[in-house]
Structure formats: structure tokens, C-alpha cells
Chains A and B, each alone.
Chain A
């Protein structure tokens, strides 16, 4: 399944091969062991674990999208959650329309929350979402368009550094408030939920879950390859140059803002896809996904895994979320914020380049031949 075996090693470095290999194994084995083995078998993977891992994978893709712009272009977006949520809403709207008459009020046209608010007609922006292809287009278009407009203004005006970070945060905060409003027609605080099926398949069946899981793994794999492709190309070299010295790039004759814009839009679309895969597996999308704290957390995943390593971003997302799952149960539950907070502080202090970055350093010290390792570690940008 994994495209790793067909790509030249310059595109996919050793660590990427390992990553794709593990991903491919997980993508195949987890659904297989869930579906094909009896629940009593020793190797059986319970559905609970499948949906949990599926969620992690979509987070990993989201982290990847952040790493593309933060690690390689130096854009610290504190609003990446907004693109994720928009993708999720696009998918959620499709799933909502699929409910049809099976909602609690049984209205064939209107989702439950509209009946509940006494709405008589479907708002115009809900049209088309009963068609899966349209929803798929919107999954890419909604976040992509927002990123395009936002980025076009921001990069052209040369808003950089913390100023950019804070206005991305303002953007997601504004969207959070907007989606909270019941009058907006997106279900207010409750968001969209109670989904029944996707493309005719029961969304709660083990088979659908397995397919969604597989698709998440596939999207993550392809997303990784796409990001690698981008950063290894000439385009990517310019991006890295912009990260390290934007003014110089501009003086060399490049239109830095256009490069940034493309990367920003691609990243937003990746986040949108992650959101679209997240929603059917989690079963709900609501405005809390827009909350600035969520977007900050994404940054934290990337930093823990290792900024500018791609593989690290994905790893960081899975590890931090696994830690969250683990710490929020059992006797640790009242103290999990101490653990998580402590983890963040410890990583910054002791693994400044993140887990993967530190691993690279360690390997480099032992065997100083960077070519064999693929991408040399990018130096962090000096203080803005």
C-alpha cells in the first residue's frame, strides 16, 4: 500500500521509510485484527482502540500541516484549528444531510437543530451538502479559500512573526464566536452530531470504522509524501530560505508572499482533510474545535515531536494525545494536567529540538554522515 517502495530515497529519507512502513503496517493490521479475529482472540484489536487510533492519525495529519508552514516557512499559525474545524464542518454537514428522516423530529430536509429553532427552510449554504462529491470539494475549498484570502492580505502586507501568530489566533477566535451563534445555522454550541451513515454505510459499524481508519492512515501517508515532495523541491528550498531570511529572499527577486501563500493554502487544505476524517470517527463537530487553546495545542504536538522534521510532527501528535488519553483515566485523572504541563516544560528544556530532532542530533554525533540521514536538521530561526 505504502508508496514508499516506489519513491527514490532522496524524496523519502530513511526515517520517512520507517515511518511509512510502520504506518502501512498499522493501516493494514489494525483493521484486520479488529475485523477478522474473534473478540476473544489474543491478537484482537477492540473497536475502541481502532477509533482512538483513527483519531490520533487525523491529529497527526493536522500536525503535519502545521509543521509544513511552521517548520519550513516559519509561519507560526495559532489558528490552524480553524482550518481543521472547517473541513470537519463540511463533512459534518454532509453527514447531517444523510440523516434524512431519521432525526428525532423526522424532518426530511432540515437537521434537528433547525426544526428545534423553528426554521422553515434550509439556509442557502447548506445546499449541495447532500452530495458527497460536493462535500469533498468543500472540505478542501472552505479552509483553502479562507487561507487564501487571509494569507493574501497578511503576506502581502508583510505581517510576520508574532503579529501573524496573533492575528491567526484572532481569526480562529472570531470563527469560534461566530459558530457558537445559533443564528449562524451550524448548530450553535452543540454543533453537528448524531450521524447515521456515510455513503450508505452505517457509521457505527466496525467495517466502516476500519475503512475510515485505513483512509486516515492513507491520508497521513500521502500527506507526508506531499510535504516531503514540496520541501525537497526548488519551491521548498525557497520556503526554507524565507524562513531563515525573508528579506534576503525578497532582495534576491523572489515574490516571498506568493511562496508563503501557496504553502499556507496547502497546509490549510491538509488540515481540512484531517478534520473531514476526524468527524465521522469521533461522531461530533462543534465550535470548541475553533478554540484558540486547541490551536496552541497543535503547535505543542509539533514542538514535542520536533519542528521541521515532518515525521516528528506526526509522532508528537500521537504521543501527546496518547499521554492525554492515558493520564485522564484512572488514579492519575486529577493530576493529568501536571503531567502534561510538566511534559511540555521538560521537552522544551531537555529536548529543544523535539524528540525526533534530538534523535537526529544523537545519530549525527555517532555517525557524522548527514546525507545518509536525508534532511539535515534545520536550525531554528533566531528570535523574531
Chain B
């Protein structure tokens, strides 16, 4: 107990108890701080991202309850500390600091958007804590204090494109995305990949739209035009969040069916489809590492427990939820392996930890702080679920630094000794990117 206390304090750096001073600022520390292990939950519960992130908050609370029912961790109960960063990126940094420095959480599960992760990164580095990030993202990052349980681009995008090429004979590609880092990177990687497969430049159309774009008439008409040039065309969509519903509605309105121009999306899952009438969308695709329709006993069991926990028999599950579950289980396992929650012990212990995923295999934490995943391609069904039409035979290891990008093709990440580096340049043999 005392041990934990000292460790937590060390982890928090110089910011520590000082209860009186805190009271001076009106911020009070709960008195029973040491009886439990605290788990921080940093997901937006209001603002634009609440739509996606609220479920992940519930997932962590659900996992905490499950774990406590199993007797907790290291003989202590877990206690979730929930904050609301309100989809406000600077507030993410503030709340992260609050969780680590004031509430002394042992680990944080949180963030959805890349910008929120970028904004809390310096805080986690400074205060030396652990963040589990459960969402598919653009890669090009590997930090000591962050564990990425979502997909890197090669664990989602490339298998999806392969599937379309092989199974649907697609020759012409529309890469449509929201203008931010994830679509930009994914599209860059895909463009390089498609060209390497012999797709000429005039058969690739790239289009970016702002966040929350709601009038898709012109763009859908352009896609339709691009797709009627006699070659089989598909849309690879990295359109984010709220913009998807009007996009799909417009596709339906303009009569584009999946058999004409299939759309494969990387940000549309069960949760998003719950808000759309999916009948006109049947056959459009999504690529994820998990679908609710995965037919395994582990998944059935999970869904049953989740729906019982939320008291909603219709509550869906989705990929970032599975990533959260995997991350949570990995952390528990690593803490038990390390015998402590001290980040300096848990971080190395996490590498190599393998836990069952919900699609019937085991996902392992690799030295690059990313996990191995199967890739599943699903077609939208009329009930808002996915029909899994393809699953990669094995697990895929994340390429955190994409070999298809100029700046990162020489970089690797390995957080084991002796390398201990997130951006090791194999050409120069030095840690720290291309620098000298």
C-alpha cells in the first residue's frame, strides 16, 4: 500500500498532495485515495464527439465492474474516475493532467480523435503515465507512454482495398475523406499502394471535405460521373463522424447502389449505422478488426453481458469497444505480471502480453506499442449489422511507420531495450527520426 503510494507520487512527478494548497484553489482530494486502484476515463461526454466516445466510457465502466467482480487487481478494487473533456482539445490536456496529478490514476483509457491524443501526449510524457488509445488512426506515432489498441492503416485500409480489387474487380478509385490527418495519411498510403498495383493516376480521384459536411449533392454527383467511365469503381471513405449520415443519404437519393459503386468505409460501424435507415445501404462495406456479428462464443458472451450491463437489449457493440476491452485486459494482465501499477514497471511488462480478442484469436502487444489484429471486411445488412465477407487468415502486425510514406519509410519502433526508441532510423542507425 505504502509502496503504491510512493510510486504513484513519483509517477506524478513534482505535482503531489498538498491538500491545503489544493483546497486553496478549491480543488479537493478524496480522502480514501489509497484504498483502490484508480482508472481514468478520458472520453468526451458532451460536444461533437460525445456521439462516439460515450460508449467507450460505458465500456470502461463495464470492464471495471467485471474486473471487480473477479476480485479486482492485485487484491484491490478498481475505481473508475470519469471526466468530461467536452470535445474540447485543450480541455483534454487539462483533464489528463487532472486525472494523473490530482486523482493519481494508474492508467487512463481515452481519446478518440487524433488531435485529442496529440494534445494529451505531452502531459503523459511529462507525468509518466499510461494511455490506452482505442481507435483506428493514421499511425506515424509510437510513444513510450501510449498503447495503441486501434488499427494502424495497414490493419484496416490495405486489406479492404485488396478485397475490392480481388473480389469486385475494382479498377477505379475514389478516395473521399474529411480533411484531417487520418484521411490524409490513409489516402496517401492507399494512393502509393494503388499505384504500386498498377492503377494509373487518372483512375484515382481524391476528395476532401470539411468536418460535418452536410451537403453532398455535388460530390456524390461527381463520384457518379467518375464511376460511369466504364471501369468498375469503388469509393474508399475516410469520411468522419456526423458527415457520414448525409453522405449515405445522398448516395441513396441519387440511386447509387452497392452493386454499382460500392463504398468501403473505415469510420462507419454498428454505432453509426444505428442512426441510419440501412436498407438503401445494403452491400456497402466497412473494414474493421471486429464486428458485432462475429460468430464466436467469446463475442456472444460479451454481447450478452454488455447488453445486460447497459440494460438495453438492443445496445450494439463496435470495434473501438473491442479495442478498449483488449487494452483493458492487457493492462490488467501486465499489472499482475509486474506486481505493481507503477508505470515504469507496467510499460515494459505490457510488451508481449497477449489476451483473447473477441473474434476468436489472441491479440498481442508488440514492441511498437501496437497490437496484432485480424482484419474483417463486412457488408452492411438491412438490420444495421455487418455480414462478414472476408477475414484475413492470420493476425496482422501494425506498421506504425508506414513504408509507403516518404518521411517514415526508414523508421521503426521498438520499446524494448536496448533500442528503447519510438522512431529509430534504420538507415542512420540513430533514434530520433531522420535527424543527425
Contacts and interface: CB of A to CB of B under 8 A. Distances in A.
Answer whether A and B touch in the complex at a CB cut-off of 8 Å: yes
Interface of A: 33, 37, 39-49, 51-53, 55, 101-108, 113, 115-118, 177, 180-182, 188-191, 193-195, 204, 206, 282-284, 286, 288, 322, 324-326, 328-330, 333-334, 336-337
- Chain B: number of interface residues, binned into ranges: 35 or more
Nearest to B25: A49
A46 B115 contact: no
Interface stretch (B63-71, B97-105, B322-330): B97-105
Nearest to A48: B101
9 contacts: A44-B21, A45-B18, A101-B435, A106-B423, A107-B434, A191-B89, A193-B118, A204-B126, A322-B26
B84 A188 contact: no
A244 to B, nearest CB: 37
Contacts of B405: 116, 118
Contact of B83 (A104, A117, A329): A329
Contact of A46 (B26, B85, B102, B180): B102
B119 A329 contact: no
B17 interface: yes
A33 B15 CA distance: 12
B32 interface: no
Contact of A106 (B24, B95, B211, B425): B425
B433 A107 contact: yes
Which of A33, A206, A328, A330 is the most central at the interface, judged by chain B CB atoms within 10 Å of its CB? A328
Interface string B71-96: 00000000000111110111101110
Interface in B162-204: 179-181, 184-185, 188
B162 to A, nearest CB: 24
Interface string B422-436: 110100000011111
Contacts of A118: 188, 405-407
B238 to A, nearest CB: 13
Contacts of B83: 328-330, 333
Contact of A102 (B184, B422, B435): B435
B121 interface: yes
Given A191-B89, A191-B118, A328-B95, 17 more contacts: A46-B21, A48-B98, A55-B94, A101-B435, A103-B435, A105-B411, A106-B425, A116-B405, A116-B407, A117-B184, A182-B180, A182-B184, A188-B180, A284-B115, A324-B86, A329-B95, A329-B98
Which of B126, B185, B425 is the most central at the interface, judged by chain A CB atoms within 10 Å of its CB? B126
A106 B26 contact: no
B181 A190 contact: yes
Interface of B: 9, 13-22, 24-27, 45-46, 82-86, 88-91, 93-95, 97-98, 101-102, 113-115, 118-119, 121-123, 125-126, 140-141, 179-181, 184-185, 188, 208, 210-211, 405-408, 411, 422-423, 425, 432-436
Contacts of B115: 189-191, 284, 286, 288
B15 A284 contact: no
Contact of A188 (B15, B25, B88, B179): B179
B86 A101 contact: no
B415 to A, nearest CB: 14
Nearest to A101: B435
- 10 closest A-B pairs by beta carbon, nearest first, are A106-B435, A106-B433, A101-B435, A44-B18, A39-B16, A189-B180, A48-B101, A115-B407, A46-B15, A105-B433
Contacts of A284: 89-90, 93, 115, 118-119
B425 A33 contact: no
B61 to A, nearest CB: 12
Contacts of A104: 140-141, 422-423, 433
A193 B92 CA distance: 13
A116 B102 CA distance: 35
Contacts of B125: 204
Contacts of A283: 93, 119, 122-123
Contacts of B86: 324, 328, 336
Nearest to A113: B181
B185 A116 contact: yes
Contacts of A206: 14
B179 A194 contact: no
A232 B365 CA distance: 65
Given A101-B435, A190-B180, A194-B118, A45 B98 contact: no
A315 to B, nearest CB: 15
A287 to B, nearest CB: 9
A33 B16 CA distance: 13
B122 to A, nearest CB: 5
A91 to B, nearest CB: 14
A181 B179 contact: yes
A188 B181 contact: yes
A328 B123 contact: no
Given A182-B184, A189-B179, A45 B24 contact: yes
Nearest to B30: A330
Contacts of A191: 89, 115, 118
B13 A47 contact: yes
Contacts of B208: 182
A180 B84 contact: no
B118 A46 contact: no
B190 to A, nearest CB: 14
A41 B423 contact: no
B97 A33 contact: no
Contacts of B27: 49, 326
B83 to A, nearest CB: 5
B18 A43 contact: yes
Contact of B16 (A46, A102, A103): A46
B18 A180 contact: no
B434 A188 contact: no
B434 to A, nearest CB: 5
B20 A328 contact: no
Given A108-B436, A190-B180, A322-B26, A39 B91 contact: no
A103 B408 CA distance: 12
A89 B88 CA distance: 17
Nearest to B90: A282
B179 A108 contact: no
A337 to B, nearest CB: 5
Contact of B21 (A49, A108, A188, A337): A49
A326 B26 contact: yes
Given A40-B17, A103-B433, A336-B46, A190 B114 contact: yes
A47 B13 CA distance: 9
B407 to A, nearest CB: 4
Contacts of B88: 288
B435 A39 contact: no
B66 to A, nearest CB: 21
Given A55-B94, A101-B432, A118-B407, A40 B22 contact: no
A333 B425 contact: no
Which of B16, B18, B22 is the most central at the interface, judged by chain A CB atoms within 10 Å of its CB? B18
Contacts of B211: 180, 189
B188 A52 contact: no
A106 B432 contact: yes
B84 A43 contact: no
Which of B45, B89, B408 is the most central at the interface, judged by chain A CB atoms within 10 Å of its CB? B89
Contacts of B9: 39
Nearest to A110: B407
